[in-house]
Amino acid sequence: MYSFDLIQTFLGWCSVISIGLLLFSALTVMLFRDQVSELHAKIFNLKKEDVFRAYFQYLAQMKILIIVLNIVPYFALLIMN
């Protein structure tokens, strides 16, 4: 059986990795906005405005999932322990 400490450590590292991926994605979209949006607009046959909206939705949904699936359980175990 797994201990609270092991699961808490696992969730902590999952949070760190997920937040790192979120930051990398956000920086990539901000720094290479025109190049990335043109590429995705061509690949998916979308307008640039729609691509920007999709980026915003992606980043927002990723942030919510990180909070709900990683950070909240981590703090719940921290409180319980």
- From first to last of the 81 residues of the chain, give the pLDDT tens digit: 678 889 999 999 999 999 999 999 999 999 998 898 999 999 999 998 899 899 999 999 999 999 999 999 999 999 997
pLDDT of residue 43: 93
Q: How far apart are the first and last CA of the chain?
A: 16
Number of structural domains in the chain: 1
pTM for the whole structure:
0.85
Within 10 angstroms of residue 38's Cβ, the number of other Cβ atoms is 12
Please give the residue range of the domain that contains residue 60: 4-80
pLDDT of residue 12: 95
